[in-house]
């Protein structure tokens, strides 16, 4: 496994639309492993392939420690409710914004064996799924944030 360099918000690549995975090759499996290692090393709870410079529809999420969810070609097929909370991104280190997201979502994707599955997520998991799926379309949370957190609020968060 390898820790990859994370693309930042000011790099044009972050705005690119990722292409679907047509075949789950060993390269895709290595990508998934490297993404998980990179996400953990950076202390994040989600990462999209575009953030490590690969324009493929691949996402990893770890909201619950030790439970990594790998999503290939994810599609949100249902959502319900609303939540507003602080959100950050490994491509925008040290910054957070208040973002409105669905309270719950259902995402359909392929797993690493090419099998279709669904995940129901609420609260932070729903937020992470939405955030990472947005990345696959070149969208970032600052596009839709209600407001950025102030330095003081960020300091409070880490306390």
79: tokens are: 């959502």
CB 95, CB 70: distance < 8 Å: no
We find the least distance from the C-beta atom of residue 89 to Ni ion, in angstroms, to be: 3
Q: Does residue 37 have an active-site annotation?
A: no
Residue with Cβ nearer Ni ion (106 or 142)? 142
Residue with Cβ nearer Ni ion (89 or 125)? 89
User: Half-sphere exposure (CA, 13 Å, Cβ side) for 131?
Assistant: 33
Residue with Cβ nearer Ni ion (25 or 41)? 41
Tokens 């030790």 belong to 66
**Piece of 9-17, 69-77, 84-92, 142-150 that binds Ni ion (CB under 5 A):** 84-92
DSSP lists the bridge partners of residue 109 as: 117
89 binds Ni ion (CB under 5 A): yes
The CA distances from residue 57 to 20, 60, 121, 157, in Å, are 5, 10, 19, 31
Spot the catalytic one: 132, 145, 152, 153.
Answer: 132
We find the least distance from the C-beta atom of residue 26 to Ni ion, in angstroms, to be: 26
Known catalytic residues are 132
């Amino acid at each position: 496994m390898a820790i990859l360099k994370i693309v930042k918000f000011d790099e044009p690549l972050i705005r690119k639309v990722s292409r679907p995975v047509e075949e789950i090759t060993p390269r895709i499996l290595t990508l998934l492993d490297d993404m998980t290692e990179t996400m953990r090393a950076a202390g994040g709870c989600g990462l999209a392939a575009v953030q490590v410079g690969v324009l493929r529809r691949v996402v990893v999420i770890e909201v619950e420690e030790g439970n990594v969810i790998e999503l290939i070609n994810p599609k949100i097929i249902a959502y319900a409710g609303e939540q507003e909370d602080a959100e950050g991104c490994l491509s925008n280190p040290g910054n957070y914004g208040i973002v409105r997201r669905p309270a719950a979502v259902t995402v359909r994707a392929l797993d690493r064996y090419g099998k279709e599955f669904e995940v129901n997520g609420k609260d932070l998991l729903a937020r992470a799924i939405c955030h990472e799926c947005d990345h696959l379309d070149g969208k970032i949370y600052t596009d839709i944030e209600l407001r950025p957190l102030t330095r003081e609020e960020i300091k409070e968060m880490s306390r």
